[in-house]
Amino acid sequence: MEVLRSILSCFSSRSRTRARAQSHHGLWSSGASDKNKSMVEQLQRYGVIRSTKVTEVMEAIDRGLFVPPGGTPYHDSPMPIGYNATISAPHMHAACLELLEKNLQPGMRALDVGSGTGYLTACFALMVGPEGRAVGVEHIPELVATSIENIKKSAAAPHLNDGSLSIHVADGREGWPELAPYDAIHVGAAAPQIPEALIEQLKPGGRMVIPVGTVFQELKVVDKKLDGTVGIRDETSVRYVPLTSKESQLHAR
Active site residue 23: no
Contacts for 226 with CB less than 8 Å, ≥ 6 apart: 204, 205
Catalytic residue among 33, 88, 154, 166: 88
Q: Is the dihedral of CA 9, 14, 20, 24 positive or negative?
A: negative
Q: In this structure, are residues 222 and 194 in contact, taking their beta carbons and an 8 Å threshold?
A: yes
From residue 202, give the alpha-carbon distance in Å to each of 94, 139, 199, 235: 21, 20, 5, 19
Strand order through the sheet with 165-169:
165-169, 133-138, 109-113, 182-187, 202-213, 217-224, 230-238
Of 191, 190, 201, give the one whose Cα is nearest residue 230.
201
CA distance 150 to 1: 33
CA distance 100 to 93: 11
Q: 193 — phi, psi (to 5°)? A: -150, 165
CA distance 4 to 22: 26
Give the three-class secondary structure for 48: coil
Angle, CA 176 vertex, CA 251 and CA 151 arms, to 5°: 75
| Residues designated catalytic | 88
